[in-house]
Amino acid sequence: MLKGIGIEVRFEKEGISTFDSGSDLLFSTMAAVAQEESRSISENVKWAYKRKAEQGIRHLGSNRILGYDEIDGKLMPNESASTVHLIFEKYAAGDAISQIIMALASIGAHTLRGHDSFSYGQIMAILKNNTYTGDRTLQKTPHTNYLTKKPDLQEPYQSKTIQNDHTAIIERPLWDAVQERLESEEQKRAVGIRTRSGTNAFYGRVICSVCGLPFRRVTYKERNGSLRRFWKCTGRIKGICSNRTIAEEDITRALTEQDMISVSAFAG
């Protein structure tokens, strides 16, 4: 890539430059050798993981878990277990992820790597981790491809769950309540209600007064080529509702003029 954009790379130990005439063959040979080496290491590591999984040996590696210490291959709850429990409690009680993040910051909770602020992704990963129930799942995810460094979905892998392997941090009823809410949030997202930040502020807030489904943002091209945003009932998109489509500027205007009465028909 560097050579392609005119940048020279010199390898001091080998005494060669990417700009040398005839270096191409040398480099492609070296690259092939390096790639083969990487593949062979990758195969060895995968083989070792598989054998360990078969023998029921946990491989935490860099995947340490908040709330547990690994002592002689056994998971033991540590002082962060209360942080984990609080996350589950608050989520089950209906708190938004952002509220949970703020609550954690206010009590000075720390992440696994010692940061004092949790991310959305970290909270979600904790809520979905069945290790907290005392179960242990070996080989949860596919192996990583040695070239792309991404999970290799082509290669088969076997996952195996051992129940009551270690001390639970989360009781089953609490775990079940959390999984239930995660699932229902997932379903809401599927019909267009978005509560995550980063999406349009009207998502999940404009609800149809006729069929009760959320409105979705649509873009139409005007004759002069400019784009206009509208909000359309999900039911109308599916053909089960005939409520009218509203121009986005009508919603914003109504909101900024604080004309809440005319908007209340559309905005929940």
Contacts with Zn ion by CB under 5 A lie at 208, 210-211, 233, 235, 241, 243
Q: Do residues 234 and 213 lie in contact, with contact meaning Cβ atoms separated by under 8 Å?
A: yes
Q: Do residues 141 and 151 lie in contact, with contact meaning Cβ atoms separated by under 8 Å?
A: yes
Nearest approach, Cβ of residue 219 and Zn ion (Å): 19
CB of 87 or CB of 206, closer to Zn ion: 206
* φ and ψ of 149, to 5 deg: 60, 20
Q: Do residues 67 and 169 lie in contact, with contact meaning Cβ atoms separated by under 8 Å?
A: yes
CB of 129 or CB of 234, closer to Zn ion: 234
Token pair recorded at residue 48: 């070792």
Nearest approach, Cβ of residue 240 and Zn ion (Å): 8
Element holding 11 (H helix, E strand): strand 10-11
CB of 243 or CB of 252, closer to Zn ion: 243
Nearest approach, Cβ of residue 122 and Zn ion (Å): 37
Sheet holding 227-233, edge to edge: 215-221, 227-233, 246-247
CB of 17 or CB of 242, closer to Zn ion: 242
| DSSP code of residue 267 | B
* φ and ψ of 254, to 5 deg: -60, -40
CB of 74 or CB of 238, closer to Zn ion: 238
Nearest approach, Cβ of residue 129 and Zn ion (Å): 38
Nearest approach, Cβ of residue 243 and Zn ion (Å): 4
CB of 88 or CB of 231, closer to Zn ion: 231
Token pair recorded at residue 126: 């904790």
Element holding 74 (H helix, E strand): strand 74-77
Q: Do residues 195 and 211 lie in contact, with contact meaning Cβ atoms separated by under 8 Å?
A: no
Nearest approach, Cβ of residue 250 and Zn ion (Å): 17
